[in-house]
């Protein structure tokens, strides 16, 4: 609207009521936008959790059927460093 007014496509008497109306409506849209955003984020988070649960189940099932070398590879992928001293293992 501002561009249309600036380019002379709208007269001042057409522009002012429209811009006032837009300003009046804007506060009503903000809560809706916030709800939609949080709803979309919630759905995305649910999807991520579901995928992680599925992955964990696959890893769990796979560890029971994996051979020794497969288990070693999984441990190496998950453990960054192992420290062994006389009293404890970290």
Listed residue (38, 58, 35) closest to 46, CA to CA:
38
**Structure confidence at residue 3 (pLDDT):** 65
Is the pLDDT at 48 greater than 80, yes or no? yes
- Higher-confidence residue of 77 and 10: namely 77
User: Is residue 55 within 8 Å of 74, Cβ to Cβ?
Assistant: no
Q: Please give the share of the chain, as a percent, with pLDDT higher than 70.
A: 88
Domain limits, the chain: 2-78
Is the pLDDT at 47 greater than 70, yes or no? yes
**Structure confidence at residue 5 (pLDDT):** 61
Q: Alpha carbon 19 to chain centroid distance?
A: 34
């Amino acid at each position: 609207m501002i561009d249309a007014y600036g380019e002379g496509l709208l007269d001042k008497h057409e522009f002012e009521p429209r811009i006032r109306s837009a300003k009046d409506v804007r506060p009503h849209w903000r809560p809706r936008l916030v709800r939609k955003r949080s709803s979309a984020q919630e759905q995305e988070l649910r999807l991520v959790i579901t995928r992680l649960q599925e992955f964990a189940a696959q890893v769990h099932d796979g560890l029971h059927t994996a051979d020794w070398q497969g288990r070693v590879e999984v441990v190496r992928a998950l453990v960054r460093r192992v420290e062994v001293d006389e009293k404890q293992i970290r």
